Amino acid sequence: MKECKKLVFVLLLLAACNICYAQDISIRGGLNFSQFNYKTGSDVIHKEGTKLNPGFNFGTVLDLPIKSIFSLEAGILFESKGHKLEGNPLMGVENYLFQTNIFYLDIPISFKVTVPINKTKIIAMAGAYTGSALYGNRLAKGVENSVLKSYKASIKWGNESNEYDRFDYGLTFGTGIKIQRYQIGASYELGLKDFSNDRVFEMRNRVFEFYLAYTLKELKKVKNEDQTPKK
């Protein structure tokens, strides 16, 4: 809970500062495809039946100009991440599905390069993100002895629960194309935080994001020029 309060405070402070200096204010939304990276010691574990877990991303993005084609992009995003296992059979269960969904409030900040080509702008970005899980759930279902069984439960947080930590951070890389006020983009989140409280497995987020952004308003910094009339 304390981490959530800190994140909200930083979020509000960042938003207030960014709006004052932002060149573009955009709204964006799209699809996420995620999975967990499992490790034990130095070994990466690939769980049989792993599939990309579908989800979403939605939020506001601010562009802060630095110089020429360089700028900083900061966002406030609500997005889903998770993991999905499905297949047939497993331990006597047919058509099984195990799915974990975690819903985060993320703040990505990226160094951005925008190269204009005619009326099109080519964009490349690299940076980092931090976030906090708001809530999450687990779903399990399958057919056992010709009977469909299902189970759904909310995720418990903190060390005492022996499940997950809310806090997450990592690196982000992206590219996109902007035409007038519209931008189509894709990015990849490489989670660095082991958010699992399991003593055996380490777990980190891996997320592919695809989105469409629309620039709501373009703000330009007004230069202070000498307004003294010429003689």
Domain boundaries, the chain: 2-218
Mean pLDDT of 52-75: 92
Has residue 226 got a pLDDT over 80? no
Mean pLDDT of 7-19: 52
Has residue 229 got a pLDDT over 60? no
For 42-62, what is each residue's pLDDT tens digit? 777 777 778 999 999 999 999
Has residue 100 got a pLDDT over 90? yes
Has residue 142 got a pLDDT over 70? yes
Has residue 220 got a pLDDT over 80? no
Q: Which residues contact 154 (CB under 8 A, 6 or more apart)?
A: 135, 136, 137, 138
Greater confidence (87 vs 40) lies with 40
Has residue 4 got a pLDDT over 60? no
Longest alpha-carbon distance in the chain: 96
Please give the class, per CATH, of domain 2-218. Answer: mainly beta
Has residue 8 got a pLDDT over 60? no
pLDDT of residue 44: 76
pLDDT of residue 206: 96
Distance of CA 94 to the CA centre of its chain: 33
Cα–Cα nearest to 82, from 203, 200, 175, 199: 203
Contact 134, 154 (CB under 8 A): no
pLDDT of residue 200: 81
Cβ-in-10-Å burial (0-12, 13-18, 19+) of 190 comes to middle
Could you tell me the pLDDT band of residue 77, with boundaries at 50, 70 and 90?
Answer: very high
Whether pTM exceeds 0.85? no
Has residue 98 got a pLDDT over 70? yes
Instruction: Say which range, 11-15, 61-65, 223-227, has the weakest mean pLDDT.
Output: 223-227
Q: Transcribe the chain into DSSP letters.
A: -HHHHHHHHHHHHHHHHHHHH-SEEEEEEEEEEEEEEEEETTEEE--TTEEPEEEEEEEEEEEEEEETTEEEEEEEEEEEEEEEEEES-BTTBEEEEEEEEEEEEEEEEEEEEEEEETTEEEEEEEEEEEEEEEEEEEEEEEEETTEEEEEEEEPPBSGGGTSB-SEEEEEEEEEEEEETTEEEEEEEEEE----B--SS-EEEEEEEEEEEEEEEEE--PPP----PPP-
The mean pLDDT of the chain is 83
For 164-178, what is each residue's pLDDT tens digit? 899 999 999 999 999
